[in-house]
Amino acid sequence: MRPTILTVDDARTVRLIVQKSLSAFDCNVTEATNGYNAFFAIESTRPDLILLDISMPIMGGVETLSRLKSTPELAAIPVIMLTSRADHIVIPQLAGMGARGNVMKPFNEIDLLRKIGDVIKLKPVKT
């Protein structure tokens, strides 16, 4: 079964980079532009992994992570946080909140894929 990865980020560029980085792998990539919309995407797709930006309008990543981990049926979904240097104060708290790690923006494809590979198994697309 193909894993589904949900990217939650208000920056279209970041969502495109994630999509491009994962295009060589047999997985589904879905998107949401903020934490509020992420819950609709989670309900319809039940992702195997969530890539979650910290700084977003409407509902930011920290609040989204907290709500995810406090909802029993969603708590087991692994979450990797997408952070920036400006988030340095919050980063140490993320693991205690249930995040499986973080990737610092701007990130490169290799770092992103390595972090994702630490959490779920990615298989190359068969050609």
Over residues 62-92, the pLDDT tens digits come to 999 999 999 999 999 999 999 988 888 888 8
Beta bridge partners of 102: 81
Residues in the chain: 127
Mean pLDDT of the chain: 94
Taking the domains of the chain in order of start, what are their residue ranges? 4-119
> In this predicted structure, what is the pLDDT of residue 12?
96
Burial class for 101, CB neighbours closer than 10 Å (0-12, 13-18, 19+) = middle
Architecture of the structural domain at 4-119: 3-Layer(aba) Sandwich (3.40)
First to last CA, the chain: 17
